[in-house]
Amino acid sequence: MYIRAASNISPQNTFGNQPFLQELVEYTGNKLTCIEPDYKSLIDPKLIRRMSRIIKMGVATGMDCLQQAGIEAPDAIVTGTAYGCLEDTNTFLSKLVLQNEEALAPTAFIQSTHNTISAQIALLLQCHRYNNTFVNGGASFENALLDAMMLLNEGDADTVLAGGIDEITPTSHAILSRMGLYHWPTTSNLNLLDNPEKETMAGEGSAFFLLSNKASGNDLAKIDAISCFYKPVGLSEIEQRINDFLSAQNIIINDIDAIINGKNGDVINDRIYKQLEQSLFANKQTINYKHLCGEYPTSSAFALWLAANAISNGSFPSAISTTDTPLKRVLIYNHYQNIHHSLILLSAC
Amino acid sequence: MDKLIADLKEQIIEQLNLQDVKPEDIGDDQPLFGDGLGLDSIDALELIVLLQQKYKVKLSNAENGPKIFRSVRTIAEFIEGYQNPNA
Amino acid sequence: MEQPVFIAGLGVISAIGNTVAQNLLSLESGETGIAPIQYLDTEHRDEFPVGEVKSSNDELAELSGFKTVISRTAMLSLIAAKEALRDAGIENYANLRTGFISANTVGGMDKTEDFFRDFINDNTKGRLRNAINHECGAVTNLVADKLGIRNYVSTISTACSSSANAIMYGTRLIKNNLLDVVIAGGTDALTRFTLNGFNTLMILDKQPCQPFDANRRGLNLGEGAGYVVLVSERVAYSCSIKKEIYCSLSGYCNANDAYHQTASSPEGTGSLMAMEGALKRSGFQPADISYINLHGTGTQNNDSSEGAAISKLFAGHYPKMSSTKAFTGHTLGASGGIEAVYSALAVQKGMLYPNLRFETPMEGLPFTPETRFSKQPEIKHVLSNSFGFGGNCSSLIFSKL
């Protein structure tokens, strides 16, 4: 499956024509929030007025991705989002409680449905084709990718627009912090992974990809395989899953040039990665990414954007890695709260 | 009536988040739906809530909506008629 | 390459019964589940009739095995999914590649609403256990864990077409040889969020709804869960399954209306494409369809739009049709799953369900829905429609073996 184009709105300077992570943006608050473009140049102002932040982010990256790929409309649109449109949900729910179920306005309710982003893109493009939304926690984006892969293999689509998106709002941050996901921050996101403690930083982002089974000659990279697994019993199961995943592609770990992993700075969360670094991933180049975008369920979309661009450029940006290994194969391994684990294998075209 | 019309224009812009529109851009008799200001059925529902919240006017039958919401003036006339039924 | 996929088990809980057998009894006797609100704590209690499952949270906790603190959405899901698995009777499903694809739109919102009452004025307040399973995916995980399924667990949310898309996705996972068995369908509980949300759209009926009637006034919301157990050909004909398979899932299609966020196009473009696409995939013609389980919500907009699409596609061979939402209400994320169960039963047992409370034909439509339950042994293929907000239109075809 070829990645023809990729678009990313994130807490780093990643959207539009920008040098590839040349300078990293530092955050010293308790979360990383997206650097957003001027949406008016990308979305019809008549439609923007109703869109909350996450919808604007999703639509903008989706449309930008299509523009980059030179495609007017894809043959399918698939999105993954764990929390959906939180701001709209919060608005409607708050008014419902405060106004005691009286005199409520419809817009926030309509926008709160999880499929709004996929639907808005379809509406803007008048795209009548397959349209789906996965809302499966930390595997939402990977499920969307797998759906895309099946559509392309089935011959029902030549191009699929697939995206992963989640937002952090003051309300969700407050609640998730109380649940112990996000603790008080380190001094800066750039040090997040240096001294793992009981803390990670919240993040958010929207990344969309134009995928196809036909090489265009200008593709960023290829996705060879995707796998998700749920609540593995222990390290040996994780190692087994990774080995099975690679051998199904007729390769072994030595054939991988770099591993992008989902370390987030929380000592318990990162234990698995540390253990793998002693075993299966020993002596492999490992790249971290969550200090750039923060932790959120669909952060693997950021990781995919990073991997695809690195492969296309031939190397990772020096701000992220100083190793010069030619990048033929990159493996992304991430887990979200040890519930959903995912593997994405990319290779150079 | 003029003050009500002026107020309504501001309320409509705020309720419907018409970001680049100023009150003086909306004609008193300009069609609000379809080609005029380009509002749609969701906006009509928002206007029903606006009438209830800001003017204490309840529209129980949505079918009367298109007639009442034709222009800012027709909305103002409806509000005045509702608030002063014997005038 | 195209291997058939079969339905080996069914499970359902709705306003008209807590099991498949109870639902069937109500469908046969014409006993509606639409009634005044009994369980949901809402200011609109006396205003809108709904299709509530006739059990309190305590009773559902007992039936499901979950604690009462768990979301009603999850409890409904587990009850129906367990019934479907038991019904399929696959002894060794833990040794097969088994997946759980569940859909919902509200997730744990029924509990989040309670949390918010305390949280809104002081963000240190509110019982966290009410917010912890808010996300749609969390509800699926709770149920997957109880079922002991780990191979592949996923959640889909595309408004009212959610569980039809879950069934479609499950089918494709089997056809792509990624799984052997998939429990697929959906669940949604009635919540203040959805009741008030639909009320802002002014499409709720203050009386029991009348789908496809000229004088229809809107929809009644409902709740419930419906799941089918999908199996590959190899599993269907192996000794893993000891009982009769219900039918095959011979056609499916997901299309988008791309007309408006909440309204359907007058011509029913998305509906037409979904039904056409399902037929094309099945290899059958419109004339082969014996019965359509309509989306038929009872709103002015849906019924005219769906009616227009059916008029066009089935011109000259209008099959029998009805909307079972007059029994269950519109169960949102669960509707595709619940109606898949009814459709599989219709094709296997040869039955037609009535469109309750139908009185006056819609002007301009060259067909009217069925008004009586009847046995129709010659039923070969049943089409089930699920059309939702965001233009998401999905159709499934169930075929006799």
Q: Tokens in use for A104?
A: 């409520």
Q: Do C256 and A82 touch (CB under 8 A)?
A: no
Unique residue bearing structure tokens 């069914």:
C10
Cα angle at A24 between A20 and A29, to 5 degrees?
145
Asked if pLDDT for residue B15 goes beyond 70, the answer is yes
C202 and chain B in contact, CB less than 8 A: yes
pLDDT at site C57: 97
φ/ψ bin of B34: left (φ > 0), alpha (ψ from -120 to 50), beta (otherwise): left
* ipTM given for this complex: 0.97
Q: What is the mean pLDDT of chain C?
A: 96
Please name every residue paired with C277 in a beta bridge, in sequence order, or none if there are none.
Answer: none
Q: Tokens in use for B52?
A: 């209830």
More confident residue, C350 or B35: C350
pLDDT at site C238: 84
pLDDT at site A33: 95
User: How do residues C73-82 score in pLDDT, each as one tens digit?
Assistant: 999 999 999 9
C307-336 mean pLDDT: 97
Please name every residue paired with A335 in a beta bridge, in sequence order, or none if there are none.
Answer: A341
pLDDT at site A136: 96
Q: Tokens in use for A190?
A: 């750039």
**Catalytic member of C253, C295, C381, C393:** C295
Subunits adjacent to chain B (3 or more Cβ pairs under 8 Å): A, C
C27-50 mean pLDDT: 97
B29-49 mean pLDDT: 87
Q: Tokens in use for B21?
A: 């529109």
DSSP string, A43-56: S-HHHHTT--HHHH
C372-391 mean pLDDT: 95
Where in chain A are the domains? 2-212, 222-347
Question: How would CATH label the architecture of A2-212?
Answer: 3-Layer(aba) Sandwich (3.40)
pLDDT at site A185: 61
pLDDT at site A259: 97
C285 and chain B in contact, CB less than 8 A: no
CATH number of this structure's domain A222-347: 3.40.47.10
Of B18, B49, B53, which has the smallest distance from its Cβ to A49's Cβ?
B18
Which chain C residue is nearest to residue B49, measuring alpha carbons? Answer: C200
Residues in chain B: 87
User: How do residues A181-207 score in pLDDT, each as one tens digit?
Assistant: 876 666 788 888 877 676 788 999 999
Asked if pLDDT for residue B85 goes beyond 80, the answer is no
C385-397 mean pLDDT: 96
A134 residue type, one letter: F
Please name every residue paired with C100 in a beta bridge, in sequence order, or none if there are none.
Answer: C153, C183
Residues in chain A, pLDDT under 70:
183-186, 196, 198
pLDDT at site A30: 82
User: How do residues C184-226 score in pLDDT, each as one tens digit?
Assistant: 999 999 999 999 999 999 999 999 999 999 999 999 999 999 9
For A71, B87, C109, C190, C371, the CA distances from C330, given in Å and listed in that order, are 38, 45, 17, 10, 19
Neighbours of B47 (CB within 10 A): 24
Contacts of A89 (CB under 8 A, 6+ apart): A108, A112
Positions of E strands within chain A: 2-9, 76-80, 130-134, 159-166, 205-212, 221-230, 258-261, 286-288, 329-336, 340-347
Asked if pLDDT for residue B61 goes beyond 80, the answer is no
User: How do residues C261-319 score in pLDDT, each as one tens digit?
Assistant: 899 999 999 999 999 999 999 999 999 999 999 999 999 999 999 999 999 999 999 99
Q: Do C260 and B40 touch (CB under 8 A)?
A: yes
Pick from A222, A202, A204: which is nearest to A212 by CA?
A: A222
A–B interface: beta-carbon pairs under 8 A: 25
φ/ψ bin of A294: left (φ > 0), alpha (ψ from -120 to 50), beta (otherwise): left
Q: Do B49 and C200 touch (CB under 8 A)?
A: yes
B7 and chain A in contact, CB less than 8 A: no
The residue among B15, B33, B39, B42 with the most chain C CBs within 10 A of its CB, best to mutate, is B42
pLDDT at site B67: 85
CA atoms within 13 A on the CB side of A181: 21
Asked if pLDDT for residue C65 goes beyond 70, the answer is yes
Q: What is the CA radius of gyration of chain B?
A: 12
CA distance, residue C352 to nearest chain B CA (Å): 35
pTM metric for this prediction: 0.97
Contact in structure between C326 and C205 (CB atoms under 8 Å):
no
Pick from A5, A1, A131: which is nearest to A65 by CA?
A: A5
Q: Do B45 and A46 touch (CB under 8 A)?
A: no
C239 is an active site residue: no
Cα angle at C189 between A179 and C349, to 5 degrees?
135
CA distance, residue B49 to nearest chain A CA (Å): 6
pLDDT at site C347: 97
Asked if pLDDT for residue C1 goes beyond 60, the answer is no
Domains of chain C, CATH where assigned: 5-236 (3.40.47.10), 250-399 (3.40.47.10)
Q: Do C259 and A109 touch (CB under 8 A)?
A: no
The residue among B39, B41, B43, B60 with the most chain A CBs within 10 A of its CB, best to mutate, is B43
User: How do residues A281-295 score in pLDDT, each as one tens digit?
Assistant: 999 999 999 999 999
Q: Do A116 and C258 touch (CB under 8 A)?
A: no
- Helices A235-247, A267-278: crossing angle, 10 deg rounding: 60
The residue among B15, B39, B41 with the most chain C CBs within 10 A of its CB, best to mutate, is B41
* C341 vs C345: CA distance, rounded Å: 6
Asked if pLDDT for residue B34 goes beyond 90, the answer is no
C295 is an active site residue: yes
pLDDT at site B63: 73
User: How do residues A152-186 score in pLDDT, each as one tens digit?
Assistant: 999 999 999 999 999 999 899 888 888 888 766 66
Q: Which residues of A touch B38 (CB under 8 A)?
A: 46
pLDDT at site A184: 63
Contacts of A274 (CB under 8 A, 6+ apart): none
C134 is an active site residue: no
pLDDT at site A200: 86
